[in-house]
Amino acid sequence: VIIGSEEGPLQLWNISTKKKLYEFKGWNSSVCCCVSSPALDVVAVGCSDGTIHVHNIRYDEELMSFNHQIRGAVTALSFRTGVLIDLL
């Protein structure tokens, strides 16, 4: 399970053993939402500063980021795949 926090970093937990496996780098902003993608090991993280980070959790590296500071915190995210369009 991946958990986000107001402090910024994500944490990977094993819910069977109740142990933290890894703490990811943070983004100096609170995590408001997190969603897994159809691509293996990739999640999107929405932050309070209006930034969306697409992150590879296997290698702990950011793949890309988007920013919309004018609209405020990112409170919900989803991935969509379709017949005509595949979005990461």
Q: Where are the domains of the chain?
A: 2-71
Reduce the DSSP state of residue 26 to 3 states and report it: coil
What fold is seen in the domain 2-71? Thrombin, subunit H (2.40.10)
* CA-to-CA dists, residue 57 to 13, 48, 71, 76, angstroms: 12, 20, 27, 19
List the strands of the sheet with 2-3, edge to edge: 2-3, 11-14, 19-23
**Higher per-residue confidence, 68 vs 88:** 68
Using alpha carbons, select from 36, 27, 39 the residue that is nearest to residue 73: 27
4-36 tens-digit pLDDT? 988 878 999 999 999 999 999 888 899 999 999
Tens digits of per-residue pLDDT, 38-64? Answer: 999 999 999 999 999 999 999 999 999
